[in-house]
């Protein structure tokens, strides 16, 4: 009887060990696929990395898809034509970086963007940089109206007051708020996410280092990611060429803090939320 009992116990532990091994093989944070919800492809980047180079980097670092903003706006179209199943093209506002500071004063910009929407396929509009000092800008209203007309999400970089105004003007609009906001604060972001559960998403781009402390994911951020796991998107933000050159280090940092989250939550942030937003959406 004792021997039978021992055999049962041994069988149990062996079965458990096999389950653990299969689980570890099935899911690895180090190999977790990433859906980059916010990056850029500029003329300076194209001079160093052509379309095939970009796809090779995506393959090397297990990046399934990239939301890319072209600078100038049409820059991203060549990439989209090369890999329409993997590149999510967003209509940018800027011919070059110098336009970030004065686009809101260019009365011709909304009309140019409308023509671009007629000419090319875009899955969103942005990145839009606007801060509280320009609250109420007429160009912003016109560009938001274009996004609303074409049922496109907007990628926004700016203050919470402007996010509030966007939803006041267009309550059904989908907004991706870049960089965990201009002043990342878990209480503020939690309040905003509660207020706009179906429309507001927040990307984590260029904030990876601040999420960690003493080798651990900061508890307040972990709690926020778990509580609002359906509304966060990981992002790389290749805002200049060295970011492309070091994309492996960036993705490693992202996977590092994701590893402190429950598997289901990590999957949502890494790719499921973005996949639902961009691939399950049959808009323009």
**What per-residue confidence (pLDDT) applies to 96?**
86
What is the reported pTM?
A: 0.89
- Among residues 108, 192, 177, the alpha carbon closest in space to that of 143 is found at 108
105-146 pLDDT tens trace: 999 999 999 999 999 999 999 999 999 999 999 999 999 999
Q: Which residues contact 231 (CB under 8 A, 6 or more apart)?
A: 193, 197, 200, 201, 202, 273
Largest CA distance in the chain: 88
pLDDT value for 6: 39
CB-based contacts of 123, cutoff 8 Å, min separation 6: 67, 88, 89, 90, 152, 153, 278, 281, 283, 284
d(CA 256, CA 250): 10
pLDDT at residue 5 greater than cutoff 80: no
* pLDDT single digits (tens) 45-87: 999 999 999 999 999 999 999 999 999 999 999 999 999 999 9
Domain assignments of the chain as residue spans, ordered by start: 1-31, 33-279
pLDDT tier at 3, thresholds 50, 70, 90: low
CATH topology (fold) of 33-279? TIM Barrel (3.20.20)
Is a pLDDT exceeding 60 seen at residue 199?
A: yes
Question: In sequence order, what are the beta bridge partners of 67?
Answer: 88
What pLDDT shows up at residue 17?
Answer: 41
Are 244 and 48 within 8 A, CB to CB? yes
DSSP the chain: -HHHHHHHHHHHHHHHHHHHHHHHHH--GGG--EEEEEEEEEHHHHTT--HHHHHHHHHHTTEEEEEEEEESTTHHHHHHHH-TTTEEEEE-S-SSGGGGGTGGG-TTHHHHHHHHHHHS--SEEEEEEE-GGGTT-HHHHHHHHHHHHTT--EEEEE-HHHHHHHHHH-TT--EEEGGG-SS--HHHHHHHHHH-TTTEEEE-TT-TGGGEETTEE-HHHHHHHHHTTTSEE------SHHHHHTHHHHHHHHHHHHTTS-HHHHHIIIIIHHIIIIIS----
Q: Are the C-beta atoms of residues 159 and 129 closer than 8 Å to each other? A: no
Decide which of 76 and 11 is more confident.
76
Q: How far apart (Å, rounded) are the C-alpha atoms in residues 99 and 33? A: 34
Residue 4, pLDDT > 80, answer no
* Chain mean pLDDT for the chain: 91
CB 67 within 8 Å of CB 90: yes
- What pLDDT does 8 receive? 41
């Amino acid at each position: 009887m004792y021997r039978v009992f021992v055999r049962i116990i041994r069988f149990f532990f062996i079965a458990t060990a096999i389950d653990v091994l299969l689980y570890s093989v099935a899911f690895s944070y180090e190999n977790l696929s990433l859906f980059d919800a916010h990056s850029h492809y500029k003329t300076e980047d194209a001079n160093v990395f052509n379309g095939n180079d970009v796809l090779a980097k995506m393959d090397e670092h297990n990046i399934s898809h990239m939301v890319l903003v072209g600078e100038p706006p049409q820059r991203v179209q060549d990439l989209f034509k090369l890999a329409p199943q993997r590149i999510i093209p967003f209509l940018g506002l800027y011919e070059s970086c110098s336009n970030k500071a004065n686009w809101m004063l260019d009365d011709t910009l909304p009309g140019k963007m409308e023509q671009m929407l007629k000419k090319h396929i875009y899955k969103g509009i942005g990145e839009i940089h606007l801060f509280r000092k320009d609250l109420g800008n007429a160009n912003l209203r016109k560009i938001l109206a274009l996004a609303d007309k074409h049922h496109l999400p907007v990628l926004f970089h700016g203050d919470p007051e402007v996010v509030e105004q966007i939803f006041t003007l267009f309550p059904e609009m989908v907004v991706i708020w870049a960089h965990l906001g201009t002043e990342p604060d878990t209480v503020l972001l939690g309040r905003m996410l509660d207020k706009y559960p179906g429309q507001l998403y927040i990307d984590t781009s260029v904030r990876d280092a601040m999420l960690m402390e003493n080798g651990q994911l900061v508890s307040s951020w972990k709690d926020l990611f778990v509580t609002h796991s359906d509304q966060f998107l990981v992002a790389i933000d290749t805002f200049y060429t060295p970011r492309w050159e070091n994309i492996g280090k960036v993705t490693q940092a992202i996977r590092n803090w994701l590893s402190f989250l429950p598997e289901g939550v990590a999957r949502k942030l890494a790719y499921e939320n973005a996949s639902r937003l961009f691939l399950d959406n049959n808009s323009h």
